[in-house]
Structure 1
């Protein structure tokens, strides 16, 4: 069992049932999720000592959010209690050619009001073997960006590998601000995770001859993107997820991992989507697990993509699958036949 630290915001997710639109809804189902919390749940399911670090209010909604992590074995002892509100996001599931829609209500959430004194990184990181965060967290405000940078610097001092999913969100900050902040954080990142758009939006690095909206992926273009990222920032590994969107319900899903020597592409999965939120986070959790377990680059990317393919079949943000289930899919058993 390896100790892994993830740092970010845990939010309340409110969603109409099924494919009901916001304006049709008479009620909203309540679950919890957030990029780094989703990764922590994946890693706890894989048997790791996964710690999620954040700040949540001391009231009952904050406790309910915290309990949602404890339920799946995530260590919540480093979550600071304080502040007044849990961030909220509303999710309307897309169908066919109608895309999903997210509306944020997260201003002045507890983590957004955090200050550096809330987190003793020497204590939090004691015994840790990995640290993970995303570009969503520093996007909250300058103070949280500074906290993220402090954590990464401590990891660098202690020799703890750092992974970061760029996860650009245009509703949280501009491309210019993202470039400035993430360029500084990138100095301390060992494993960079991105998708078709992130490298372009954050760093202005774009794959040639690729149309993300038309569903066309050019492998050579992504090789170039990964090499540029590594050459520019000195990352040890660059992982890029490749989503070919045929419709809101059907995607082709694969990924690439570049380790400085070889470009490893995974097999491609044809997904009939139940819930795509958290798909990238489940990829990150799978990749972290695979790398900590010493898998080679090809096996690591196969495990990560298989994990995220399974997440698209699971309702909610959390990827509730086991190592055995992921390994079976990665090894080619994707029939979906009943297991007895």
Structure 2
């Protein structure tokens, strides 16, 4: 039993924030499942861009597809490649899904980032991908934008598992948590099963500290703000978790739990440390708690395996977290403005990665494959 395995005892799932053909073909994912207790996989346009656009592992299959579908668009070519990876990862994790009775064992695939501000198109894309991939342990990633919130409720109502992505602020998180509940309630009102519908709310962490720390370095808040460096994102996450703990005790949630509903777990994303002055396992060691997920890039996973500390930390010093956020507001560091900006930047970043991914796929031709 290694350090990663110990997190399961504390109620936290560890998901791999990475996917590519080589990892799947060489049994790397299965090894992580078997040895480290990894119970999920996430993907995003940036991950697929690096996998497909910068390497040659997909070239042979792409060439074969192109010969059979010479008029296929770059989007169709991308989906052909990505869906196979998602299906294979889902199949690798299916024993976990079965063993845990649908409580974990999920693979996430993102709707097109181009649709982030279109509710109807996002909902339609989520449903199309759900039926195309055709795996019960798939989660469709939908951004927690204002347009995404009703699409989340619609998708849950249709029985689609949802990974809500690009969450930074607590108010935005509350909105998607209630959208999840709304979807379940509509299904339950029709007498449909809700016991195997899963969702996570992906709260991005390190990017908040990057923004706040930059503002502090520029002198905002003066010397009084310096002790807040590297603490705001963790405090923000701790208070989001406190809201979750309170909500699952509510009559509204308990009515759904009585019908078998599983809670929407908080998932900590963007947990690779961006600031070299901080511990490379900062956003793992400090955010360990029951019924949560940490989705971890390979390098950070290696670091935690080597020197992480497994202890329930998410509920520690909540008063201190409240003080950090109160000081952040008092000193004018504008956490709400920062989180709003990060949502916009996140959508733009994923769209740019998707642009680059589709361009690189479009540039590849069958003749180039060996």
TM score, norm. by length of structure 1: 0.37
Q: Hey, which of these two has a bigger chunk of strand by percent?
A: 1
Larger CA Rg, structure 1 vs 2: 2
From the two aligned structures, give the one with the greater helix fraction: 2
Q: Normalising by the residue count of structure 2, what TM-score does the alignment of the two structures yield?
A: 0.35
Higher relative CO (Cα under 8 Å, sequence separation at least 6) belongs to 2
